Amino acid sequence: MVDPRRDIEVYLDLAESNGLDINYIFETHRNEDYVIGSLELAEATGAEIFHGKNLNFQYGTPTSEGNIFHMGTVELEVLETPGHTLESISLAVRDLSASDDVQMVFTGDVIFAGETGRIDFYGIDRRPQMAGLLYESIFQKILPLGDGVILCPAHGAGSVCGADIREQDYTTVGYEKKTNPQLQFASKDDFVDFKISEELYTPPYFKKMEFYNQNGVPALGMLPHLRPMPVKFLKDWAQRGAQVLDVRKPTSYAGGHIPGSLNIWEEGVAAFAGWFLNYEDPIILVDDQSHGLLEVKLALARLGFDNIHGYLANGFPSWYLHAEHVDKLNLWTVHDLKKHQDDSDLFLLDVRKIDDWKKGYIEGAHHIYLGEIPLKMKEIPHDIPLVVYCDSGYKSTIACSFLKNNGYTHLTSVVGSMTAWEKAGYPVVND
Amino acid sequence: MVDPRRDIEVYLDLAESNGLDINYIFETHRNEDYVIGSLELAEATGAEIFHGKNLNFQYGTPTSEGNIFHMGTVELEVLETPGHTLESISLAVRDLSASDDVQMVFTGDVIFAGETGRIDFYGIDRRPQMAGLLYESIFQKILPLGDGVILCPAHGAGSVCGADIREQDYTTVGYEKKTNPQLQFASKDDFVDFKISEELYTPPYFKKMEFYNQNGVPALGMLPHLRPMPVKFLKDWAQRGAQVLDVRKPTSYAGGHIPGSLNIWEEGVAAFAGWFLNYEDPIILVDDQSHGLLEVKLALARLGFDNIHGYLANGFPSWYLHAEHVDKLNLWTVHDLKKHQDDSDLFLLDVRKIDDWKKGYIEGAHHIYLGEIPLKMKEIPHDIPLVVYCDSGYKSTIACSFLKNNGYTHLTSVVGSMTAWEKAGYPVVND
Amino acid sequence: MVDPRRDIEVYLDLAESNGLDINYIFETHRNEDYVIGSLELAEATGAEIFHGKNLNFQYGTPTSEGNIFHMGTVELEVLETPGHTLESISLAVRDLSASDDVQMVFTGDVIFAGETGRIDFYGIDRRPQMAGLLYESIFQKILPLGDGVILCPAHGAGSVCGADIREQDYTTVGYEKKTNPQLQFASKDDFVDFKISEELYTPPYFKKMEFYNQNGVPALGMLPHLRPMPVKFLKDWAQRGAQVLDVRKPTSYAGGHIPGSLNIWEEGVAAFAGWFLNYEDPIILVDDQSHGLLEVKLALARLGFDNIHGYLANGFPSWYLHAEHVDKLNLWTVHDLKKHQDDSDLFLLDVRKIDDWKKGYIEGAHHIYLGEIPLKMKEIPHDIPLVVYCDSGYKSTIACSFLKNNGYTHLTSVVGSMTAWEKAGYPVVND
Amino acid sequence: MVDPRRDIEVYLDLAESNGLDINYIFETHRNEDYVIGSLELAEATGAEIFHGKNLNFQYGTPTSEGNIFHMGTVELEVLETPGHTLESISLAVRDLSASDDVQMVFTGDVIFAGETGRIDFYGIDRRPQMAGLLYESIFQKILPLGDGVILCPAHGAGSVCGADIREQDYTTVGYEKKTNPQLQFASKDDFVDFKISEELYTPPYFKKMEFYNQNGVPALGMLPHLRPMPVKFLKDWAQRGAQVLDVRKPTSYAGGHIPGSLNIWEEGVAAFAGWFLNYEDPIILVDDQSHGLLEVKLALARLGFDNIHGYLANGFPSWYLHAEHVDKLNLWTVHDLKKHQDDSDLFLLDVRKIDDWKKGYIEGAHHIYLGEIPLKMKEIPHDIPLVVYCDSGYKSTIACSFLKNNGYTHLTSVVGSMTAWEKAGYPVVND
């Protein structure tokens, strides 16, 4: 297994159904965006854990360039590929029954489909050094493996570990050589300059993940048993600081929600909860039907949030049936936005990633990435109507719910956002 | 089996798991509020169908007072119990291995938990006659069976076949004698007077049910295979008259919905679809997650709606991602309503059943039962804001969505409605 | 709430969806056959716990004859109804808005549908005293409430708390007066004689339940997160004493199973696991598809078995794909049994409850109740073929799997058992 | 869409959730192993259908070498790649926003991961011609696209369209050049010789698929609504020729099954039902729990089996509870087989694909591919014990169940089969 996640059932099932044992676990680097499942998996299988030698892990065994691991006719060779981090390794795979050449490579965070690894974890000063290392790892270790080699990166689309990773389970060396924008620079210097200037986001939960993944993760032997919570208990807990997380879709949240609750739609919890939740105060979930709470619980557990306390019994309708106060959020379609776009007294906020912004935005908009809103709130005026958009209306609603809880009023989220804006044929500008 | 529904799997499974055969099917009367599954079940099991002799059914065998059917040590005796309809029968059950006395009785629509059957199906003129028959059926046939006899009526809470049926799977003769308000009258005349004056609702789908249930129902061998429908196809169909049914919760619908769509929340389809949908135009479902569409399909099939055409692919978010126009509905909490209660330019509409209204309503409200709104729209003014409430906010949102599709604007639905109003301690008036 | 179970979600959801609070929790007695959820529910709702005064509970508040609790228009009155235990209480319910008479009664283990409470928990000597108390509780407290009163007992069919409880959610006083065999005796003395002579079963887990339910139950805040387990780990754990529980159906188990595993089909775990599992050694589940493991986990948790360790990854097929040894069990149909019934060298064992046995058995059979096999193994010969039957073939397969693990060979379980035997028209004898 | 399947929900959902329309449907060739969903999808979306010009399709539009289709910045170019069939086309994809070179190719049945397309559909005489065409298509059209090009074939592991396709969603040109055994021949002649000598299987359902896929498929607007069937009805239907399909696992089937039923485990239905079921007689399913019947129904529908009639109500246990006769199948572990391997009076049958057999088999075994058993039964002796193995024990149990229904007795299926045999370290021979 390479870089296993914390809920390891899927690996164990897969191994057993193929009559295989799991003997080796490799960590391509100290992952920073999810809780690694190595110890969990090692305990469950007896496998040995390996990682690069250039970081002082509190568990597992260091491994170095050229080390080879044998599994039947398959062998894995360790390539040291620093750049993203110093201890980063890649794993080249040969199935000797098919060919003596490398046929596949696990690249961790060195190179992704359409992206390369970020190099900003060691501070501004070391960016040039790290970018140079990354260049060498890619051009001297990975690309020479051959165009046809299947390339398995550690992350897919949506990860914060790369600005703009494509949605593709795996890719090939040759495909990346042709299509990966970062492999098209004229020289190493150009590559390094580009990487130095990259603007990437570092969610607050990275710290927790780094600590866990270097020092070892508590066993997931027990997961919180989510308990339904009466309205009055939720209120008590919320008054004592509990984090109320509403996982319904934007229109449901807009139609009515618990004052003070944060909205992150169910499938978005994995990507965005880490920017807005803390690890101390209990988390209470709110849904309409309690259909997907198990998935939400797992998504949170993978980020190390074991402080989930329960969920609102019988879903959001309980709230208003108990005569509690309900907040609403204003929604606009892109047609509403078009009509009001030139209103002088309106602050239009684009919360997409900076790279999406650079490709084109709506005239008059200001840009702050969703995850950075907590840090950059002072850039957002209080006294005028605030209209927020993203790609689809999901992330803009997260932003609105967060701003609402921080004293903003006159908030509007744009459903459909850029996807619908372009569909409607409205103009997009860029600098 | 007594009065089986159209999707008969549950009966077949139950019989097989107990090693039993289904040999007899009884219809206590021609049911008018759901499609009867007798023919379906007879075909699947070889059972014989029986019903009362005073209606000309196109299938099955008439049975009369005193007929006895034997099943092992159990016997069923037919009691003719007209009143609700002329052909109504009840079925008295004896398990001879336990006692020679009647131990249980299936009463069809003669008597329910807390209610008695409606007697208004034969027109105003025959109400006194039918009420008299019903009185005799209850007081001369059912009550004499003994206080401890378990009484199994054909309907539970929420049915339109009785004004105010309690939520209770079964009851007892003695319990009804003590607590059923309609058994407390001083005389037969008082009972008849009460029944004559009862105001009950007759949904339009009753006609279809009556026709089906007297003449035979098409086999449910094939159910429509619901197909996801792209946005542009839904639009095409809607323009050609398709009925767009949004089965999300009130707050979701309020936050945003397809213009022209009717909102009935998933679990409410069984009770309310028949008032608003027709049997000719194709029905297209809209949900957020497509979780419960199978249940909705079954609920519609039980009402004879086999004209379901599909559902919006990927749920409501598809709609705004395609830059389509989105309508919203205003929601108020009971606190908002309290604040505005005395606004002179506001028409407050209570859409609960008349009996709930009689127990108490919000000062200033007008009453039209939800199901009768299509017939009584002219009583509702167009030029002033319209605020609708019910028990919980679910039914008032149905009303608002229907009125919206019929030219009304300035609509508000009150979430929480009477439940929350009373919880909040706000005053309730009655006449 | 009366006598809540340990996984309390269902109560909380029900209360919230009806806009109700849970303020009072009543324990009709110290339950001995499941872990009571009172503390769990009290913590989740703030409700107060009450129980009878004649036992020294380590939590909650004693309550006495005539105490009345008010909830809106409803009131509950405590009736002291000793007999099953000394502290047993019943709760009479009046809805004053309907009638001033008692309309419903919660009877705990005093009287069931078709049964009365067992009186054997205080030892042989005190049976006459307890039976007398029970008689008085029933005849002087419960029956006088009136024939039509709805009677809600604490247990349904399948419970070990009564020999032969009917499958019925609730019953009536009058129905029981007519049909309950134990209310038909000519005198109190006859009743007492009958109760004294009753043969009932006391599973080993009762001790654990009694301790928990008198002294307080550990919170179920965390439930074990079941982990899939590779074959080799299951083997290791089994060698160190783990209890391997195969929850597949009898034919699956018969076709092939892990040597040493105990078979209890999924839905049977609640009723039978407590006879055969201990609370110390880890429990490992084996299924084919892992469909129902959550239900099994809950069923075990309700019995206080928190020592579940995991389940075989990818189900039973993993076992044979790893070339492990597979055991089989011989199955007979009732036709096979008929053919061999007179074989002299065969020990035919009926493992049904003694009351079923008394109603009729297969000629030549010996009787030991399934749950008592561990105690009475010496009555079962080792040297001749052993053929086991029950009602259906499920419980006989439990018996066979247990006996197999205790050194018996030449075992046969009869699928269909008495149900099929009677269906086939084969003769049944009784004494 | 390329080569859509008949239940098209997944495509429609995917398109909508990405805000895309489906405008073009391509068929790489007339598929012969599943019912194509082109007409279904065209009707649902308005898309146009295209296929190669060298076959007379009764629907859609022919397309030729070099035709280009534009979708935003993406273009698809048609490559005529005959060999598997004469009308076979491949589709080369360029995303012009990334690079002007081809980046991906859909190859239909020309080349797979680890395999190339079969060339035997036009009869023995034309094999050399077709193999030559295939060689040119691969070596002159596909491989020159470049090593890094992502290659998407029409089938994955388990398909009968290639002897030994790897389990991999997609592959690359370069990866195949290195590892695909059929691309390693020294010359075109060697390739052609190899392809001519290939032994592949042609299931009987191919004829139906070919007819459907050339002439148009009936719309799947309605799928049979599976009805639970009482035991006595199943018996009636079976006597009139219905096909009883038991979808339980091998050990469940071995433990007990309905005489005359065919066993194909749930997930195996897609691959094996077409060899053994006919399109005329009604199909009745038997399961233990009815968990996966919807999946089975879809798997059968994809093969054009719309003649499913229902399923045994309450699963297999119903059968024996009704005192019906039960058949059993003998199972051996690999250890049992080892012990008896040298028994002279035993016919050991290997039912794996011929290519697996060639890699190694158990000494003394005879080989007939599972799907060909119906045609080659006369090679299997009747008078001696028959022991069947495959990879895992699943397919050998299919074989046993089929042979049982055709008069064979003394049948044994080996659970674990070759997987376990090798795990146990037992010897494998080859020629």
Radius of gyration over alpha carbons of chain A, in Å?
23
D152 catalytically annotated: no
Determine whether the interchain pair C291/D289 forms a contact, defined as Cβ–Cβ distance below 8 Å: yes
Q: Is the model more confident about A105 or about A208? A: A105
pLDDT at B290: 61
Q: CB-based contact (8 Å) between B298 and chain D?
A: no
pLDDT at A169: 82
Per DSSP, helices labelled H in A149-222 are: 173-179, 188-197, 205-215
Is pLDDT above 60 for B426? yes
The topology (CATH level 3) of A9-215 is: Metallo-beta-lactamase; Chain A (3.60.15)
The DSSP line for A243-299 is: EEEE-S-HHHHHH-B-TTPEE--GGGHHHHHHHH--SSS-EEEE-SS-SSHHHHHHH
- Each domain of chain B, given as residue ranges in start order, spans 9-215, 227-321, 330-423
pLDDT at B89: 97
Q: CB-based contact (8 Å) between B416 and chain A?
A: yes
CA dihedral of residues B144, B145, B149, B150 (deg, nearest 10): -100
CB within 8 A of C122, min separation 6: which ones? Answer: C86, C129, C130
A81 — pLDDT class (breaks 50, 70, 90):
very high
pLDDT at C227: 79
Determine whether the interchain pair C174/B174 forms a contact, defined as Cβ–Cβ distance below 8 Å: yes
Phi-psi region of B62 (alpha: psi -120 to 50; beta: other; left: phi over 0): beta
- Kindly list the residues from chain D whose CB atom is less than 8 angstroms away from the CB atom of residue C328: 331
Determine whether the interchain pair D173/A148 forms a contact, defined as Cβ–Cβ distance below 8 Å: yes
- Kindly list the residues from chain C whose CB atom is less than 8 angstroms away from the CB atom of residue B104: 175
Determine whether the interchain pair A12/C318 forms a contact, defined as Cβ–Cβ distance below 8 Å: no
Read off the tokens for B25. 């099917």
Q: Taking a C-beta distance cutoff of 8 angstroms, is the pair B88, B52 a contact? A: yes
Q: What percent of chain A has pLDDT over 90?
A: 68
Which residues 20-79 in chain C show a CB within 8 A of chain A? 21-22, 44-46
Helix/strand/coil percent split, chain A, to 5: 35, 20, 45
pLDDT at D221: 56
Helices (H) and strands (E) in chain A, counts: 16, 22
Q: What percent of chain B has pLDDT over 90?
A: 69
Kindly tell me the burial class for residue C429, based on how many C-beta atoms sit within 10 Å of its own C-beta (0-12, 13-18, 19 or more). exposed
ipTM, two decimals? 0.85
Q: CB-based contact (8 Å) between D232 and chain C?
A: no
Phi-psi region of D179 (alpha: psi -120 to 50; beta: other; left: phi over 0): alpha
CA distance, residue D179 to nearest chain A CA (Å): 5
Task: Name the neighbours of A, counting chains with at least 3 Cβ pairs within 8 A.
Answer: B, C, D
Q: CB-based contact (8 Å) between D229 and chain B?
A: yes
Q: Tens digit of pLDDT for each residue in D205-228?
A: 888 888 888 888 776 655 666 778
Q: Please state which CATH class domain A227-321 belongs to.
A: alpha beta
CA dist D422 and C155 (Å) reads 53
pLDDT at A222: 53
pLDDT at B99: 85
Which residues sit opposite D406 in a β-bridge?
A: none
Range in B199-208, B255-264, B319-328, C231-240 the model is least confident about: B199-208
pLDDT at B194: 95
Read off the tokens for C360. 């009729």
Residue of C10, C39, C223, C227 to mutate, interface with A, max A Cβ within 10 Å: C227
CA distance, residue C165 to nearest chain D CA (Å): 22
Determine whether the interchain pair C227/A221 forms a contact, defined as Cβ–Cβ distance below 8 Å: yes
pLDDT at C18: 77
Which residues sit opposite B172 in a β-bridge?
A: B150
CB within 8 A of C289, min separation 6: which ones? Answer: C315, D291
Of D249, D320, D335, the CB nearest to C416: D320
Q: Taking a C-beta distance cutoff of 8 angstroms, is the pair A420, B320 a contact? A: yes
Of D103, D147, D179, the CB nearest to A179: D103
* Residue ranges in chain D modelled with pLDDT below 50: none
Task: For residue C25, give Cα distances in angstroms to A58, A185, C3, C49.
Answer: 50, 72, 7, 5
CA dist D251 and D249 (Å) reads 6
Tens place of pLDDT per residue across chain C (431 aa): 999 998 888 898 888 877 788 999 999 999 888 889 899 899 888 999 999 999 999 999 999 999 999 998 999 999 999 999 999 999 999 999 888 999 999 999 999 999 999 999 998 999 999 999 999 999 999 999 999 899 999 998 877 777 778 888 889 999 999 899 999 999 999 999 999 998 888 888 888 888 888 888 776 655 666 778 889 899 999 999 999 999 999 999 999 999 999 999 999 999 899 999 999 999 999 998 666 688 898 889 888 888 888 899 889 999 999 999 999 999 999 999 999 988 888 999 999 998 899 999 999 999 999 999 999 999 999 989 999 999 999 999 999 999 999 999 999 999 999 999 999 999 999 87
**Average pLDDT, stretch A73-102?**
94
Q: Do domains A227-321 and A330-423 have the same CATH topology?
A: yes
Which residues sit opposite D95 in a β-bridge?
A: D74
Q: Please state which CATH class domain D330-423 belongs to.
A: alpha beta
CA dist C232 and C357 (Å) reads 43
Q: Taking a C-beta distance cutoff of 8 angstroms, is the pair D431, D405 a contact? A: no
Of B173, B178, B423, the CB nearest to C101: B178
Query: Any idea what DSSP says for residue C319?
Result: H
Cβ pairs bridging A and C (under 8 Å): 99
